[in-house]
Structure 1
Amino acid sequence: MENQNMDDKDQLNLEKNILENNAEGSDNTEGVKEEAGTVKKKNSVGREIFEWFLVIVAALVISMVIKAFVFSTYKVNMVSMENTLFEGHNVIVYKTGYFFSQPKHGQIIVFTHEEGQFKGLLKYLPVANPGEVDYIKRVIGVPGDEIDIRDGYVWRKASGDKDFVKLDEPYAKGLTDSHGMQLPYKVPEDKLFVMGDNREQSLDSRQIGPVDIDSVIGHAVVRIWPFSKFGGLK
């Protein structure tokens, strides 16, 4: 009888030990699972941050490419294009259009003109030219055109035409003076004859000569500021 009691006690102790070991093993398993979950969560957060970083970098690159080759903005800082554009107005400049065609009569363009002591010196160097100034004007003559100014109005004889035609310029402010230039004037190859719409207060081809087509940045197509004047340009 005593031996049987001992066997029962040993059996109980054995079962108790097994249960304790199982419980301890279960705790260890839960700990391992929790640690694995923490590591997985950290990896997920790190991957998400990296993906957002790639998105931001891609957006910046795309923005720079668009600005460099497709569209840019230009802020008008002169009175020479009144009453079409006033100081402080902002326009969108379409830059790729002239990759496939040349500027046309009446289009408003933004171009770079070299001035002062730096003129021509830094043209082929990969640095900003301190002598370069951006202008916004309207195309009056393209290569081969002849330009004349009579009694305050502009006349043009297109290449191949026999006679001069007086231009209809509802955008022009004031009368057009020749400023002493020799007329009629024939626009050379690869050049443009440009004027500001504010004819009495504009530094343009009448004073600085024709503009290199290669210096044209793009075609001003839309005014975006002020919002009250938002719309296409003509």
Structure 2
Amino acid sequence: MSEFIPRSARHGRRRRRDRNEAWEWVQALAIAIVLAMVIRYFVFEPFSVSGPSMLSTLHDGDLVIVNKLIYQFRAPEKGEIVVFHATSKKDYIKRVIALPGQVVSAQNNIVRVDGRSIDEPYVDEGNRTADFGPVEVPPGHIFVMGDNRMNSSDSREFGPVSMDQVVGRADVIFWPLSDFSFLW
């Protein structure tokens, strides 16, 4: 035998189901927003390249993803591209040339770390490096330089960068899509 359910009771169940479904969507959206914020502020951050100092690796207007977590687990390595706070209002992006305790210098267009010339395939031929140094990198610091040596404000000008100022490692060029590539 079938049970008679008044029309008003059927509508009440549907409304409760609709309200529960809407509440689930609100919860899912809130969780997604919180996760996006956590990832953005603690793990990965987009960074816009400004200026020609990293040509031809990075171009003015390129957008890169910066891995903010990596240096919580290990120190930077030579050759990595890092973003750091140059001033309280401006971040720079440069390449790590020397690590704490190393001595860096340049003479006759050759960069040397601990007296040995370093291979720099990322520097365009004909792009000169002015003589400087020697500079000993203090503990807790790194020595950084732009790939476009003739047009870069870097550690040659403002000295080694404290690890406290380092935001993270640039991992991927994601815009423009035609330039998409990994930087490590």
TM-score in terms of structure 1 length: 0.74
Find the aligned partners of 2:134 and 2:86 in 1 and give their Cα distance: 23
Q: 2:174 aligns with which of 224, 228, 231?
A: 224
CA RMSD, Structure 1 to Structure 2 (Å):
1.4
Q: 2:152 aligns with which of 202, 208, 214?
A: 202
Cα drift, residue 66 of structure 1: 0.7
Find the aligned partners of 1:133 and 1:101 in 2 and give their Cα distance: 25
Find the aligned partners of 1:138 and 1:55 in 2 and give their Cα distance: 40
Unaligned runs of 5+ in 2: none
Aligned residue in 2 for 1:175: 128
| SS of residue paired to 1:200 | helix
Aligned residue in 2 for 1:40: 13
Q: Deviations over 1:99-120 (max 9, x none)?
A: 0111110000011122xxxxxx
Aligned residue in 2 for 1:112: 85
The one-letter code matched in structure 1 to 2:183 is: L
Aligned residue in 1 for 2:104: 147
The one-letter code matched in structure 2 to 1:147 is: V
Matched, 1:67 2:67: no
Find the aligned partners of 1:33 and 1:40 in 2 and give their Cα distance: 11
Q: Deviations over 1:6-47 (max 9, x none)?
A: xxxxxxxxxxxxxxxxxxxxxxx96x6210011111111111
Find the aligned partners of 1:65 and 1:153 in 2 and give their Cα distance: 43
Work out the number of aligned pairs and report it. 180
Runs of 4+ displaced beyond 3 Å? none
The one-letter code matched in structure 2 to 1:208 is: F
More helix by share: 1
Cα drift, residue 132 of structure 1: 2.5
| SS of residue paired to 1:63 | helix
Find the aligned partners of 1:67 and 1:56 in 2 and give their Cα distance: 16
Q: 2:54 aligns with which of 76, 81, 84?
A: 81
Unaligned runs of 5+ in 1: 1-28, 115-130, 158-163
Once the two structures are aligned, what percentage of the paired residues are identical?
A: 39
The one-letter code matched in structure 1 to 2:120 is: E
Q: Deviations over 1:80-107 (max 9, x none)?
A: 0000000111111111110011111000
The one-letter code matched in structure 2 to 1:212 is: S
Matched, 1:165 2:116: yes
